[in-house]
Structure 1
Amino acid sequence: MKNLARALLASALTLALTACGLSPEERMDRAETAFAENRFSVARLDLASVLQENANDTGALALMARTQLQLGDGEGAASTLARLENLGALPEDHAALMAEANLLRENFEAALALGERLQSAEGRRIEALAHIGLADPRAAQAAFEAGLSLPGDKARLQSDYALFMLQAGDADAAQRLATAALRASPTGLDPLLASARIAQARGALPGALGFFQQAARTWPESRGALLGQVGILGDLGRLEEARPLVSDMARRTPGDPEVLYLQARLFAEDGDWTAVRQTLQPIEGRDDARQQLLYSRALVELDLTEQALPRLGALLRRSPANAEVRRMLARAQLATSDGAAAFETIRPLAISARGTSQDVALYRTAARQAGRADQASTAMAQASPAERLATLLAEGDSALREENWRAAIDAYEQLRSWTGNSNAMVLNNLAFAHSRAGNTADAVQIAETALGLAPENASVMDTLGWLLVESGRDRSRGLLLLERAANAAPDNAVIARHLAEAKGG
């Protein structure tokens, strides 16, 4: 919140100038409108102007407390509510407001005491969240369950309970609760974010993106909605759509660790490892595995391997199943001529079904450096290539169904690294994934290779034909390919639609 306050300083000065000449009543009206439109930072600025002229305006103080809660400012809200108490003008729901403020301040004991006094669904929600803060999940679940049968709006309780159940590993229960919350409050921030996170956890990335986008439209200042959008766009490989969102967030909340991480991710995609390191240096001690891995990779890429080794070692001890951490540590160990350590690090991954061709290459290099080439050859001979390829194929096909283009590209590229350009359907699916991710040039080139291998395959002709039409590269040839595909597969609805749209365009 300190970062947000600094970011809003310039806006505050601007609005202060534009507010000149407005009466306190007009400013109050404008604040109420901004609050109703979920533009809470704007509302806070007008309310501050009103209170500067009359510090005891109880209407402005009450709205200020609610605004501060929406902005995550628990300390400010508690202070404002105390002023209202001194004036004898506490709102009817002051106990719920103060309990929420205490949750934000991480004063869980005080929040729990207030929540227990509220005989409503909202009271049980506050009680449950306080129990979570106090590391008592059993009591938290009991409070959530109790709240479901009490009066009052249950959308926020159902949303928080949904995320609790998702964390507990019961995705089906989480989905039921989120659906109920969204039904009760279709535009509520909590139901939208809960639905997005559950869809994300289930691999339904386009659906998750839709929920995050809806939340951002309705709640334009929601950090969770904006961060969620950017994260999903990155996972889908739609980085150009993510860039303006990250830039906007960096302007609004400079220094926010999550935003710095997202900026660094974009620099990494561009191969600018110096920028990655410089961006993450101010928060290099932050306990975030994603950030630590990215920072460590920047150090490796910049030949600062000795600095990366302790970080990567700690990450692997915490997450021994993390393949990316394992291969990055092996790279760093090889760079420092510690082949024996690299051999032991990469071996479990290289001989597993999850191992990539790059992992195998690292394994063989480490084995040679450690004088254990014969051992590596024996282990690789015993590994099942069929199992490895089947795993990759299943991952790629699943990613296509879920429209997770980045994951699909990764899986099919790995298959391609094992099989070369010998499988037309692998290449066809890879071309399709690249096209959906916006990599049109790569998609066309790969689709051409697939067509060379299977010139009469309807799906292959459709992929290339539609690419040529959709991109405008060669409409006449694309139309011809689509006509041939439709003749070869007359019952294929997708091909028929592509042909109809191509003719109509």
Structure 2
Amino acid sequence: MGFVLLFALAACGSDGTALERGRAAFAAGDLRTARVELMNALQAQPADSEARLIHAQILLALGDGIAAESELARARQTGIAAERIRHLLAHARLLQRDPEGALAQSAGAVPPHLAYAARIRGRALMALGNNEAAAAEFDRAIALGPGDSDVWTDVARFRRAGGDVGGALQAADRAVAARPRNVEALVLRGELTRSQYGLIAALPWFDRALGVDAEHVTARLERAITYGDLGRMTEMLADAREVHRITGGHATAYYLQSVLAARARNFALARSLYNRTGGAFDSTPAGMLLLSAIDFETGNVEQAAGRLAGLVARQPGNRKARRLLAAAQWRMGDSTAAALTLRAVVERPDADSYSLTLMGRILAAQGDAAAASRYLARAAQPQPDALTALEALPEGEFAALREAAVAHPGDGPLQVRLVSALLARGLGEEALARARAIQAANPGAPEAHMLVGDALGIGGDFAGAADQYRRAANLAFSEAVALRLIEALQRSGQVEAADQVLELFALQNPRNVPGQVLLASRMMQRQDWAGAITTYESLRSRLGENDATILNNLAWAYSESGDFDAALPLARRAWALNRNNPATADTLGWILFKSGADRAGGLALLERAARGAPSDAEIRQRLERARRG
């Protein structure tokens, strides 16, 4: 079925050698070789209608709808009946972003092309936002072509777009099984694997795809993205350059190179590379965030703040955008706006240390030392709580939310908000029942299992929560799922299992900051000072010298390993960044005292730390030891 349908056709008098080589290359998934061979065949026999059809299919596989439609018109001129190419014309129209035209063309399709036409209609209806009708067309395509790899590939994309990750995984596996050299299916399975298991696990899928077609642009870009997320920058750059060679210059490859330059803090180069994208990412959240980071680091703070404000308005839950916007507002001297921007982040139980530290500094500058100390104390914790944030609503808003959720049972975000609000009111049984109903209706959605886990965890059933998070992790081993699972395992006494999950997540996602911070914290707890130093130094090289928590913990690890020369400047820097945090005062004070560099100054800092954290037994013990001399 699909693209291989015409392979059995005879050469029909054309240059048989070139045509057969082209057919063989197409069957093997080597599209560019196939195109060259078909062009040679057509040059020798321009009136060969079957060669025209095969060439059109190759162009469709390459994503060139305009050229494919032109080739199909030539095929018609050579005598091909219109009904034989309706499904291909529909595909060409879809590639030209004309879903209505695709629907019109596909209506005239005839056997044996009905499965092909149905999947194109499904894609067209997706583009028009009619997912219910799209689902019906994809069901029809499966019924007509149950062994068609292209059908299952499109079904997998549709299910993934609808949040049915489990269904998408099953469909992608069917697509690969039906045609193991289907590059589109291999790339999609790689993308799904990247979310399901992690970055390293995804690479073999992209490698397989490139083994079939070394010049497949999407496969190479997805592998480059994965290499970048792994921190394997040399390999990422090699793939990006190869994409440029294949395409003559590709916007996504320039974007990836710009990200690489920004990570290396070469912001002038990052801007230059970004400019070569031709504005392709200007309206995307990723592009807006990258441009804003470049502006922020190069002194264009107001420009960054303006763009970020627009992004936060579009995506209120985008934490990266909120953090950077708050930092820009803080740098501009608008502490009130910065605090307001950060509020949605820091009030969550899983708030990151940077946001909490910045909020603490803002409140300290505003004169609210008590509130500042609470946020700074949370920032010093090695692992934030991972359970869902509760939404406490006034009675009127809560009643309106419940009424809306009852009226719109299919609105997932609305149902999730209601569960959160119910938990905030202590209505745990109703919240859990609603969460389980969402789960039953969406068994392939990892978020549904996470929601049940959150409801169980907040109710104190951490073992039950861990089981639900495992179900979510089998579909998508994301940061949110991993951190929840680790916390639930810890709280249910399964410490070894928690450590195994953490190590696996850190291995698959070596650049994930919360995962690496948590891993380093575990090393500190085990007194693995060398491992903690290596991990914290890696974080320090990436995040710079402005994360007080990382610097403070790194200083402690160096001091415990006996390297006071390395520890002392780090402790001083951490304390300078966060003077109101008892943890930084404790670390610097203890290192000054223990090293003998300034025993009196160290004692004063330890007393300050004890006043700031009167319930911290370890700080109190170090103070008493220092007082005894």
TM-score, normalization by structure 2: 0.59
2:342 paired with 1:346: yes
The CA RMSD over aligned residues, in Å, is 3.7
Counterpart AA for 1:109: E
1:62 Cα offset (Å): 2.7
Counterpart AA for 2:208: Q
Contact kept? 1:413, 1:430, Cα under 8 Å: no
Give me the whole-angstrom Cα distance separating, in 1, the residues matched to 2:224 and 2:560.
37
- Please, which moves more after superposition, 326-335 or 42-51? 42-51
Which of 371, 378, 381 is 1:376 aligned to? 371
| 1:133-189 C-alpha deviation (Å, 9 max, x unpaired) | 222100011111122222464222122112211221222222222222222222212
Match in the other structure for 1:361: 357
Match in the other structure for 1:201: 195
Match in the other structure for 1:501: none
Give me the whole-angstrom Cα distance separating, in 2, the residues matched to 1:217 and 1:434.
37
Which of 388, 401, 404 is 2:504 aligned to? 401
Corresponding pairs, count = 420
Change beyond 3 A, Cα 1:57–1:182: closer
Match in the other structure for 1:166: 160
Contact kept? 1:340, 1:367, Cα under 8 Å: no
Aligned ranges 1:181-330 → 2 under 5 Å? 181-282=175-276, 283-284=278-279, 286-330=282-326
1:245 Cα offset (Å): 0.8
Give me the whole-angstrom Cα distance separating, in 2, the residues matched to 1:429 and 1:156.
48
Match in the other structure for 1:155: 149
Name the SS for the 1:406 alignment partner. coil
1:50 Cα offset (Å): 4.9
Contact kept? 2:353, 2:378, Cα under 8 Å: no
Identical amino acids, percent of aligned pairs = 26
2:79 paired with 1:88: yes
Give me the whole-angstrom Cα distance separating, in 1, the residues matched to 2:532 and 2:79.
68
Give me the whole-angstrom Cα distance separating, in 2, the residues matched to 1:179 and 1:264.
34
Change beyond 3 A, Cα 1:36–1:183: closer
Match in the other structure for 2:429: none
2:333 paired with 1:337: yes
Change beyond 3 A, Cα 1:414–1:124: same
Give me the whole-angstrom Cα distance separating, in 2, the residues matched to 1:260 and 1:426.
40
2:62 paired with 1:62: no
Name the SS for the 1:424 alignment partner. coil
TM-score, normalization by structure 1: 0.72
Give me the whole-angstrom Cα distance separating, in 2, the residues matched to 1:111 and 1:267.
41
1:351 Cα offset (Å): 4.8
Match in the other structure for 1:466: none
Name the SS for the 1:89 alignment partner. coil
The unaligned stretches of length 5 or more in structure 2 are 1-13, 387-482, 488-497, 543-553, 562-629
Contact kept? 2:360, 2:376, Cα under 8 Å: no
Match in the other structure for 2:416: none
1:207 Cα offset (Å): 2.7
Match in the other structure for 1:413: 517
Contact kept? 2:363, 2:372, Cα under 8 Å: no
Contact kept? 2:59, 2:65, Cα under 8 Å: yes
1:294 Cα offset (Å): 0.9
Contact kept? 1:160, 1:190, Cα under 8 Å: no
Change beyond 3 A, Cα 1:152–1:368: closer
Match in the other structure for 1:467: none
Aligned ranges 1:84-163 → 2 under 5 Å? 84-89=75-80, 93-116=84-107, 117-118=109-110, 120-151=114-145, 153-163=147-157
- Please, which moves more after superposition, 26-35 or 159-168? 26-35
Contact kept? 1:111, 1:130, Cα under 8 Å: yes
1:52 Cα offset (Å): 4.8
Name the SS for the 1:303 alignment partner. coil
1:235 Cα offset (Å): 2.1
Change beyond 3 A, Cα 1:85–1:404: same
1:43 Cα offset (Å): 3.7
Change beyond 3 A, Cα 1:149–1:309: same
Contact kept? 2:240, 2:256, Cα under 8 Å: yes
Aligned ranges 1:35-74 → 2 under 5 Å? 35-52=26-43, 55-74=46-65
Contact kept? 1:343, 1:366, Cα under 8 Å: yes
Give me the whole-angstrom Cα distance separating, in 2, the residues matched to 1:308 and 1:55.
56
Counterpart AA for 2:131: P
| 1:337-395 C-alpha deviation (Å, 9 max, x unpaired) | 222211222233245433333223322333344x2433632652895976944546938
1:104 Cα offset (Å): 1.0
